[in-house]
Amino acid sequence: MENIQQYDYDYLIKVSIIGDRGTGKTCLSERIVNDQFMSTYLPPTGLDFKTKFYSFETKKIRTCFWEICYSNRYCPTGIEVKGSSIILFIFDLTNSESFESLKYYYNRFCQQFPLLPPIFCVGTKSDLPPTVSERQILKQLKKMNYPPLYYCSSQTGSACKDIESDIIKVLSNIIKLQYQLSYRDDLPPSPSQHQPNPHSCSSKKCCLS
């Protein structure tokens, strides 16, 4: 995939970046989208997003990185992540409270959505001395079915390319699956689709209809 500048696209993909205020969501998305570090910026309140375009084979993909900031003024309802293809749970390695919040966000979303999209766990500010222990992190990862874990620094760029690369892999799989489904829909019905199944209850109304 390559970054492209056209504003027409074939697919729209949403990547949600979730975490407490001050965990580095804006800096991470800026590093992924523009490959630069923001030393000064105005923190967003509630929701904000950045856009990056990729190409996959002949398809153009508009990827929106949604920064979802939770605080006392803005609490999670769950609707923010609807339509997300990937969720990045962000915590600050130098702030143990942000890691405790990560547990709350994950449990909250699991209650509201039986099937979550692919999840990445990202510990930010890896260039600074950590206050969250490896043991704490691994214990929580087990409860989350061991999603990919990254320790990154938006300031130095450490591991940010790895995160983007793995996001692109997930996006590629999504596009491949959608292409296969659309291709299958364009095919004429197979003979088996015209023949009644002798083991089915065709005379009964389907309970899902």
Distance CA 201, CA 205 (A): 8
Q: Which residue has the tokens 């009644």?
A: 196
- What tens-digit pLDDT sequence spans the chain (209 residues)? 544 455 689 999 999 999 988 999 999 999 999 999 988 777 666 678 899 999 988 889 999 999 987 765 456 667 788 899 999 999 999 999 999 998 888 988 888 888 889 999 999 999 999 999 999 999 999 999 999 999 999 999 999 999 999 999 999 998 888 878 877 665 555 443 433 333 333 333 333 33
Query: pTM of this prediction?
Result: 0.81
Which residues have CB under 8 Å from 92's CB, separation 6+?
A: 19, 20, 22, 23, 24, 98, 99, 123, 124, 125
Provide the 10 A C-beta neighbour count for residue 194: 7
Taking the CA atoms of the chain, what radius of gyration do you get in angstroms?
A: 21
The torsion angles phi and psi of 38, rounded to 5 degrees, stand at -95, 105
Q: Please report, as a single letter, which amino acid is at residue 120.
A: F
Q: How many residues does the chain have?
A: 209
The torsion angles phi and psi of 99, rounded to 5 degrees, stand at -70, -40
Q: Which residue has the tokens 């990202």?
A: 122
Report all structural domains of the chain as residue ranges with CATH numbers, in order of start: 11-187 (3.40.50.300)
First CA to last CA across the chain, in angstroms? 41
Distance CA 16, CA 68 (A): 7
